[in-house]
Amino acid sequence: MPFAPSSMHVESPAFTPNGAIPKCHSAEGEDVSPALSWKDAPAGTQGFAVICHDPDAPLVKDGSYGYVHWLLYNLSADVTSLEEGTTLGTAGINDGGAIGYGGPMPPQGHGPHQYYFWVLALDTLTELPEGLTQPELLNELEPHILGMSRLVGTYRRD
């Protein structure tokens, strides 16, 4: 992703920054996406995208590292929050091969992993098809990113 810091702020009622992600949001639980909200998007924002990525996963795929848990895009500028288990937007394919959210499930005994929930502010409202991979999505979004911010949570498998 390009370096596009901003004053945007991302938070969740489910966990605090660098705090533990509840089991219900993991593949060990109900595997439902957490609620998220953001504010202070850059001027000119027309749309948003959300990516959840685990950089601690010991995987390399298609030239990138870690594990993609969620790709959500085609969110209009008036969407500044997502409910738990949201059905808003269009979902991409996660590294588990499924469309939509796939919660944390680090290898047993691997310790806690960090999960980065990125919100990307875009200068356009996208109309991309369902099922894009992270490389495909970033190829489409990178020219349009005005700013980005993240919320990091942790999860350790029981």
Comparison of pLDDT for 99 and 57, the residue scoring more: 99
Helix and strand totals (H; E) in the chain: 1, 10
Domains of the chain, by residue range, sit at 9-155
Q: Is the pLDDT of residue 15 over 60?
A: yes
Q: Is the pLDDT of residue 12 over 50?
A: yes
pTM over 0.75: yes
| pLDDT per position as a tens digit, 60-96 | 566 667 899 999 999 999 999 999 999 999 999 999 9
Between vectors from CA 61 to CA 57 and to CA 66, what angle results, nearest 5°? 20
| pLDDT per position as a tens digit, 123-147 | 999 999 999 999 999 999 999 999 9
Domain 9-155 belongs to what topology?
Answer: Phosphatidylethanolamine-binding Protein (3.90.280)
pLDDT (0 to 100) of residue 63 = 62
